[in-house]
A and B are shown apart, each in its own frame.
Chain A
Amino acid sequence: QKEVEQDPGPLSVPEGAIVSLNCTYSNSAFQYFMWYRQYSRKGPELLMYTYSSGNKEDGRFTAQVDKSSKYISLFIRDSQPSDSATYLCAMFNDYKLSFGAGTTVTVRA
């Protein structure tokens, strides 16, 4: 079983739609859960993080963590063409991040 699983998509939505992204994981030791955005051939850009279970909202972005199910989600409301990118989930333990494969999202104008 992979440590972090993420559906690579691709995911295509019309402008204004809600984008829903998720990851599952197997390591119960993970405490910090991050979402990064990555454009082609660029470095990952930290979007949001959540500590342990719960929800966190930042503008149009909402991150959710359910540790009992080992499941995390990212929702993007009112999606814009500029949100088109690859979204990576990542989890931290023992001085390192473990990344998902990334989901490629295209928001159509």
Chain B
Amino acid sequence: EPEVTQTPSHQVTQMGQEVILRCVPISNHLYFYWYRQILGQKVEFLVSFYNNEISEKSEIFDDQFSVERPDGSNFTLKIRSTKLEDSAMYFCASSPGSVGNTIYFGEGSWLTVV
């Protein structure tokens, strides 16, 4: 069964460093997303991406964050100048269309900022 894959599964970084989280969405999907979940809190939307453009972004997704689809298979989330409060599980997701009933999530990348 096709799945969304994410790397790394866990990353520890120093405060102020830049981090890139990588995702390979399901191959025939067209819409891509990043969500995050701070430990013990709810899953929060960060950004949606379609046709090489951001479709929607949340208040969390400020200038510190950026997304890119550098080639036909990868989808990345870059976090610049990381802060302690960026420590969270980051989930990539994808869907074949714009309807929300078929959004599939990866296993997550656990980011720890020290």
Using a CB–CB cutoff of 8 Å, the interface residues on chain A facing chain B are 32, 34, 36, 41-46, 49, 51, 88, 90-102
Q: Show 15 residue pairs from A and B whose CB-CB distance is below 8 angstroms, ordered by the A residue.
A: A32-B99, A36-B105, A41-B89, A41-B110, A42-B108, A44-B91, A46-B103, A49-B101, A92-B100, A92-B101, A93-B100, A95-B31, A95-B98, A99-B44, A102-B43
Bound Cα distance from A24 to B38, whole angstroms: 22
* Interface range for B: 20 to 34
Residues 55-90 (chain B) with a chain A CB within 8 angstroms: 55-56, 58, 89
CB distance from A33 to the nearest CB of B (A): 9
Bound Cα distance from A93 to B99, whole angstroms: 9
Bound Cα distance from A95 to B31, whole angstroms: 9
Bound Cα distance from A41 to B45, whole angstroms: 17
In the complex, what residue of chain A is closest to B89 when comparing beta carbons? A41
